[in-house]
């Protein structure tokens, strides 16, 4: 198991920036604040407005909850490390952060896969949609996405905790599963095999229903009316943009952790390593909030109602 003498890990990717750390702290705090406000606002809007209690918006609510979950797994620790001159984290906290970030990635991909299937039913089988996608099925999908992700990575974490580590320096801004395994001086064959299997379960398996759904949607669009094509574009554009953005972010992180990137400037490596857990929670509320007319109109209605009620109280 993890060395009994090993009580902390050193995060070796932080740069010495002097007094600029206070500027970085303020900028990072602002990003975290915007992410919390944006995602929490849309969760509240969806939960409070009964007209948004539809499968598509319930899946979006699960997606926004996951953005808060993943951001909280990174930002509080990141803020502490920015201000600190000694970049260390305890072993239990490190494994907890690994668990939260990796389950965040898994839930994100699975949630996007379920959303693509929902769009496939809505566009290809509009008359049967309400009978195929009932509220019970929606909640079962959401519960399955979260339980599947947690159980899958609990197995990975239990395998890693049993490793004997011969070092404690992780060349990253946060705790990284693959980099912890690389510190092991015991046999990591089982960890590596399950790690590859885990990548397939996390990325490849969710991509299969996404590809299937969009192949069917494209087929219907090409053979359907102009109105059908407009409906497909309006509902699928934010989903595709979110999927591509998150896939690029995860690809950057995989490349950086597994290949020698010393020739790349440090600032670029830092941005690429944080891309998947900063840009996704920032862009998703914007993309879905602006593109989905029901969410946009509901937000306008709530805002105008508060403004008018406040004005009435003053008069």
Within 10 Å of residue 181's Cβ, how many Cβ atoms?
Answer: 17
Query: Burial of 133 by CB count in 10 Å (0-12 exposed, 13-18 middle, 19+ buried)?
Result: buried
Nearest to 237 by CA among 229, 227, 248: 229
SS3 label, residue 8: strand
SS3 label, residue 90: strand
What is the reported pLDDT for 190?
A: 87
Cβ 242 vs Cβ 287: under 8 Å? yes
311 pLDDT higher than 50: no
What is the reported pLDDT for 25?
A: 93
SS3 label, residue 165: strand
Where helices occur in the chain by DSSP H, the ranges are 20-48, 55-83, 91-124, 129-132, 135-161, 177-182, 189-199, 205-223, 226-258, 266-291, 293-314
What is the reported pLDDT for 216?
A: 86
Domains and CATH numbers, the chain: 8-310 (1.20.1070.10)
235 pLDDT higher than 90: no
> pLDDT, tens digit, for every residue of 24-79?
999 999 999 999 999 998 998 888 888 788 898 899 999 999 999 999 999 999 99
> pLDDT, tens digit, for every residue of 103-129?
999 999 999 999 999 999 988 888 888
> pLDDT, tens digit, for every residue of 186-211?
888 888 888 888 888 888 889 999 99
Measured distance CA(218)–CA(17) in Å, rounded: 50
Query: What are the backbone angles phi and psi of residue 168, rounded to the nearest 5°?
Result: -140, 15
DSSP state of 201: I
Look over the chain and give the mean of its residue pLDDT values, rounded to a whole number.
Answer: 85
Measured distance CA(284)–CA(118) in Å, rounded: 18
DSSP state of 164: P
Which residues lie closer than 8 Å to 52 by C-beta, 6 or more apart?
Answer: 45, 46, 294, 295, 298
Measured distance CA(161)–CA(231) in Å, rounded: 49
SS3 label, residue 186: coil
Cβ 43 vs Cβ 65: under 8 Å? yes
> pLDDT, tens digit, for every residue of 272-310?
888 889 999 999 988 887 666 666 666 666 655 554 455
Give bridge partners of residue 8 from the DSSP assignment: 90
Length reported for the chain:
315
Give bridge partners of residue 165 from the DSSP assignment: 184
Cβ 27 vs Cβ 39: under 8 Å? no
Give bridge partners of residue 88 from the DSSP assignment: 10
SS3 label, residue 163: coil
Which residues lie closer than 8 Å to 232 by C-beta, 6 or more apart?
Answer: 119, 123, 217, 220, 221
SS3 label, residue 169: strand
């Amino acid at each position: 198991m993890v060395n009994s003498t090993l009580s902390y890990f050193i995060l070796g990717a932080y740069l010495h920036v002097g007094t600029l750390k206070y500027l970085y702290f303020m900028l990072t705090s602002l990003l975290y604040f915007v992410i919390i406000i944006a995602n929490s606002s849309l969760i509240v809007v969806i939960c409070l407005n009964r007209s948004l209690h539809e499968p598509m918006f319930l899946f979006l609510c699960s997606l926004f909850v996951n953005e808060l979950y993943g951001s909280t797994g990174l930002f509080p620790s990141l803020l502490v490390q920015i201000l600190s001159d000694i970049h260390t984290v305890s072993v239990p906290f490190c494994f907890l952060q690994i668990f939260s970030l990796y389950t965040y990635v898994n839930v994100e991909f699975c949630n996007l896969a379920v959303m693509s299937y929902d769009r496939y039913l809505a566009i290809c089988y509009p008359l049967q949609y309400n009978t195929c996608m009932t509220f019970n099925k929606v909640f079962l999908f959401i519960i399955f996405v979260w339980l599947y992700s947690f159980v899958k990575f609990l197995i990975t974490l239990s395998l890693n905790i049993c490793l004997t580590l011969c070092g404690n320096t992780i060349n990253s801004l946060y705790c990284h599963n693959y980099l912890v395994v690389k510190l092991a001086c015991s046999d990591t064959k089982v960890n590596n095999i399950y790690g590859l299997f885990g990548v397939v379960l996390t990325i490849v398996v969710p991509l299969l229903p996404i590809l299937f759904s969009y192949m069917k949607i494209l087929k219907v669009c090409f053979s359907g009316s102009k109105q059908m094509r407009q409906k497909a574009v309006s509902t699928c554009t934010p989903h595709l943009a979110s999927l591509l953005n998150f896939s690029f972010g995860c690809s950057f992180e995989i490349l950086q952790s597994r290949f020698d990137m010393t020739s790349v400037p440090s600032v670029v490596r830092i941005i690429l390593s944080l891309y998947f857990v900063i840009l996704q929670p920032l862009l998703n509320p914007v993309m879905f909030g602006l593109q989905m007319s029901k969410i946009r109109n509901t937000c306008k209605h709530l805002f105008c109602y508060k403004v008018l009620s406040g004005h009435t109280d003053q008069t």
